[in-house]
A and B are shown apart, each in its own frame.
Chain A
Amino acid sequence: MGNENAVLPERAQSIRYSECSGDGSGIKCESESISGSVSQRACVFCGARVVLNPITDAFHIIHGPIGCASYTWDIRGSLSSDEEGYRNSYSTDLRERDVIFGGQKKLAAAVDEVMAIHSPKVIFIYATCIVGVIGDDIDAVCREAEEKYQIRVIPVKSPGFSGTKKTGYKMACNAIMSLVTPKFLPKKTHGVNILGDFNLAGEMWIIKNYLRRIGVEVVANITGDAKVEDLKKAPAAQLNLVQCAGSMTYLAKQMEEVFSIPFIKVSFFGVTDTSDSLMRIAYAVGDKEVITRAKAFIEEEKNRVIPLLNKYRNNLEGKKAAIYVGGGFKAISLIRQFHEFGMNTVMVGTQTGSKDDYEVIQHLVDEDAVILDDANPAELEAFMKEMGADILVGGVKERPLAYKLGIAFCDHNHERKHPLAGYEGTLNFASEINLSMNSPVWEVIGGMKNV
């Protein structure tokens, strides 16, 4: 399939060669997917679910037919240092009868049944596509349950059709605000909150450890490895560190407004971003001791890690990378990281990147690089082939596509198997792309004629 026919006319505005932009029109993004497109995108419910899922001592009841619960059952690789109950799947499994007569009673009964088995501190109730359509008042169910059990029961209205995944992030952020907003603002501490790390493969632990090493106390992790009691302390923090900007900037802005907590955006992917972020945190905290410690820590880590990375550099230098990830912020970090390895990013796309993200991306990549928003497999295939990509970084749906094309792959999404954040994450990342690109399997894909 060539490019001309790989791209729907309606999609043309969502694809740019880097050099074409800058004419003021920019890329078309943050819009609904086109009907009939084989989009890699998910929905509002998905956005809400992935943000709240890592709260380990909360119970997550999915109100709707069974599918939404099945598909989001323990798929995200968010690790917990203690409770594991969140890794089970709870739902009302709505049936035809419920759709006709309403599912409100069943939902109330489901809450009772959870309470009979466990003693949750918080229950999140997700309303999926049909809940509003059949007229269930989940606010009422939540209110009654709160009174009855004296715990927080928080509605998360996330019908799939009501926007994009980003709308779901907002719904989740609202739920978190509802959970953490106290009656009276607490006295400020010196600590910070980490927003937008979901502790995939234990990344939150790496970052917390770095902050501890430079003398910054962490008040609340939002939401990786989070516990309800810790989340409630969040308003006392003096600074918010926003990592997954796509999902958490909204929450950071609310917390700024309501709790007067300023925020900075940080990224811990790659040596450069990790070091920059640590310094920016140190300066933002403003403690001299912290700044000194941060400088020393960064120096020490760089000295440790860069020689190790250089060993991979021989294998990686000059290779071409393609990126297709969820958010723009991660894409930006990845481009920088590939640059550190001496690799060139030839194609970059995201599911939910913003105009600002795409502008930064455009400045980071070469003029002939391809930039796509909300791409489909045909487009990914066409452009990866055209640009001669050696490796694709993406998520579960992109992996078999890359392999079928004979292109190496690294999962930078739910299915990452090693932490990819921080200095050791950068080493892991280099090791993974090196492993995938230099596996002996590529030697045999040419078929028997090579024998």
Chain B
Amino acid sequence: MLDVTPKEISERSALRINPLKTCQPVGAMYAALGVHNCMPHSHGSQGCCSYHRMFLTRHFKDPAIAASSSFTEGASVFGGGSNLKTAIKNIFDLYEPDIIAVHTTCLSETIGDDLVTYITDAKIPEGKIVVHANTPSYVGSHITGFSSMITGLIHYLSVNTGEKNGKLALFPGFVNPGDMREMKKLMTLMGVKYTMLPDTSGVMDSPMTGEYTMYPKGGTTIDDIKDLGNCELSLALGEITSTPPAESLKNKCKVPFATLPLPIGIELTDQYIMALNRFSKNEVPYIIEEERGQLVDILLDSHKYSQNKTVAIYGDPDTVLALAQFTLEMGMIPKYLVTGTPGKTFEAKANELFEKFGVEGCTAKGNADLFELHQWIKNDSVDLMIGGTHGKYVAKAEDIPLVRAGFPIVDRYVHSYLPLVGYKGAMRLAEMILNALMDRQDRDCADEDMEMIM
């Protein structure tokens, strides 16, 4: 009875069923949490802030702090200026952040609140900072909001002083703290000096210490964000998510940039390592070569179990594209690639990938939803699904194994601490994918076909 999705596909242009995206502000809030001593602030109704904090808490299983302008009827008529003014004062008085990162909501955008004027007019204590990003919920998705907040931080803070700092600016994309840690590990091993923005490691995966701190140790510092303007180069990981901030840093501070897909799987991690190598001119150390060699070894050992298996991957655009490439490297067929985030790039990139690996019968769709994916699967099923928690009803209804990867995952633990990126992340993914497929084989095979050694 959990399954009410009909097989027959009917035309839909107005109705969204089971979305594969959420609104911009939650992405902006996540990005702001990756700044050290920062209070994210939601300029809108109380519920927005509460929902976003809840959404992030459910995924990361860690506290997500943020304040709200707490709009009332009055604010919706006269504008939210006085709410923001009061909020800024209260936040600095009580919660003592170094910086407040304000994002807008559908309501404050629709009534036309002018954040630039509000912030200019606000009383901001000496040495404290308020920045903002416009994140109307009716444009783009949480991915857009994440991207917009990074751009906002650069816009307000980054300066080109004319003196290069020898660093690489890294935009990690909408990934978990575990991924950010892996990206940093690889940069360190490659001898690259860097600033990563945002950096939610040490914030949304902070350790238990017996103390609650509103601002855990992690996060990009304000000084480092300012100094982004002096970086030699910026590297935007995840083209759809990270290109806008890289472009804004180029426009504002003349920092050239390169874009790469998220470094998931072999080739995309190779590309990341080679980009770091070009930057630092350092040899790739043996420890990285060794990890790569181990990954290849694993794929060789196991390839018979993944070869030609069909998979449906859903979630955020850059994540889905990079995961798809890795499944192709494992000999699988990414039959359906779906994201809820609107935009043409996703489909174009997916089709390039299908062509590159010479696979046929694969479909990619942006601005789509899980209901549609479910209907496709009902008409022509797959061996595996990869994506966030919300796909589990489809997986159950169609009896398909599900590997959880991406955002949000609200029904499992540990995932946000460990990487999908890098060779280590690929090993983890390979293990999850193979376990799912092979557990299924064990479960479904006849007694006489049960194998001890696989």
Give A contacts to B, CB under 8 Å: 1, 5-8, 10, 32-46, 61, 64-73, 80, 82-85, 87-96, 98-99, 106-110, 112-114, 116-118, 128-130, 133-134, 159-164, 377-378, 381, 396-397, 399-401, 403-406, 445-446
Inter-chain contact B51/A67, CB cutoff 8 Å = yes
B residues in contact with A8, CB < 8 Å: 90, 93-94
Q: A35-B83, A133-B76, A400-B57 are in contact. Are A96 and B136 (CB under 8 A)?
A: yes
Interface string of B1-43 (1 = CB under 8 A from A): 1111010001111111111011101100000000000000100
A84 to B63, CA, bound (A): 31
- In the assembled complex, B152 has its CB within 8 A of some CB on chain A: no
Which B residues lie within 8 Å of A32 (CB)? 70, 72
Say yes or no: B17 contacts A34, CB within 8 Å: no
Instruction: Kindly state the separation between the CA atoms of A344 and B361 in the bound complex, as whole angstroms.
Output: 65
Instruction: Give 19 A-B contacts (CB < 8 Å), ordered by A residue.
Output: A5-B94, A8-B90, A32-B72, A35-B90, A36-B41, A38-B68, A40-B50, A45-B47, A65-B23, A67-B26, A71-B55, A83-B1, A87-B2, A90-B16, A118-B4, A129-B45, A396-B54, A396-B58, A405-B210
B359 to chain A, nearest CB (A): 31
Cross-chain contact B50 with A42 (CB below 8 angstroms): yes
Interface assignment of B132: CB less than 8 Å from any CB of chain A? no
- Inter-chain contact A107/B106, CB cutoff 8 Å: no
Q: What residues of chain B lie closer than 8 Å to A129, measured between beta carbons?
A: 44-45, 76, 105-107, 110
List 7 additional A-B contacts (Cβ < 8 Å) besides A36-B67, A95-B138: A6-B94, A35-B90, A43-B48, A65-B138, A69-B16, A113-B14, A377-B212
The CA-CA distance from A406 to B212 in the complex, in Å, is 9
9 A-B pairs with the lowest CB-CB distances in the bound complex, closest first: A43-B47, A67-B23, A160-B45, A36-B90, A36-B87, A109-B14, A65-B137, A93-B16, A70-B22
B292 adjacent to chain A (CB < 8 Å): no
In the complex formed, the residue of A with least CB distance to B25 is: A67
Most B CB contacts (10 A, CB to CB) among A36, A41, A46, A92 go to A36
B19 contacts which chain A residues (CB < 8 A)?
A: 66, 69-70, 73, 89, 91, 93
Assuming A69-B16, A87-B2, is B22 touching A34 (CB within 8 A)?
no
Asked if B377 is at the interface (CB within 8 A of a chain A CB), the reply is no
A33 touching B68 in the complex, CB below 8 Å, given contacts A43-B45, A46-B51 = yes
| Contact partners of A106 in chain B: CB under 8 A | 14
Residues from chain B with Cβ under 8 Å of A108 in the complex: 14
Given the complex, which residues of A lie within 8 Å of B354, measured CB to CB?
Answer: none
Residues of B within 8 A of A71 (CB): 22, 51-52, 54-55
Contacts of B83 in A (CB 8 A): 35
Question: Which residues in B have their C-beta under 8 angstroms from that of A39?
Answer: 46, 49-50, 68, 70
B15 CB to closest chain A CB, in angstroms?
Answer: 4
Q: Tell me the complex Cα distance, A10–B93, Å.
A: 12
Closest Cβ–Cβ distance, residue B350 to chain A (whole Å):
22
Measured CB to CB, the closest approach of chain B to A111, in angstroms, equals 8
The residues of A that contact B371 with a CB separation of less than 8 Å are: 88
Q: Are A38 and B67 in contact (CB under 8 A)?
A: yes
In the complex, chain A residues whose CB is within 8 Å of the CB of B111: 133
The one of A85, A92, A159, A406 in contact with B14, judged by C-beta atoms closer than 8 angstroms, is A92
Residue from B50, B55, B210, B390 in contact with A43 in the complex, judged by beta carbons closer than 8 Å: B50
Closest to A105 in B: B14
- Residues of chain B within 8 A of A64, CB atoms compared: 106
Chain B residue contacts of A88, Cβ below 8 A: 4, 17-18, 371
Q: Is B139 an interface residue (CB 8 A)?
A: yes
Complex CA gap A8/B96 in Å reads 12
B211 in contact (CB, < 8 A): yes
How many Å lie between the Cα of A328 and that of B106 in the bound state? 32
| A1 contact set on B, CB distance < 8 A | 214
What's the minimum C-beta distance from B383 to chain A, rounded to whole angstroms? 25
* Smallest CB gap from A380: residue in B: B212
A residues near B447, Cβ cutoff 8 Å: none
Give the Cβ gap from A173 to chain B, nearest Cβ, in Å: 19
Closest B residue to A162 using CB positions: B73
Q: Residues of B contacting A117 with CB < 8 Å?
A: 6, 10
Nearest Cβ on chain A to B47's Cβ, whole angstroms: 3
What B residues does A160 contact at CB under 8 A? 44-48, 71, 107
Given contacts A65-B137, A71-B54, A91-B16, is CB(A406)–CB(B70) below 8 Å? no
Report yes or no: B22 in contact with A36, Cβ–Cβ below 8 A.
Answer: no
B84 at the interface (CB under 8 A from A): yes
Residues of B51-93 contacting chain A, CB below 8 A: 51-55, 57-58, 61-63, 65-73, 75-76, 83-84, 86-91, 93
Q: Given A37, A67, A72, A405, which contacts B68 in the complex, CB threshold below 8 Å?
A: A37
**Docked pose: A128 CA to B71 CA in angstroms:** 13
Contact A113–B12 (Cβ < 8 Å): yes
How distant is the Cα of A8 from the Cα of B67 in the complex, in angstroms?
A: 14
Question: How far in angstroms is the closest Cβ of chain A from B62?
Answer: 5
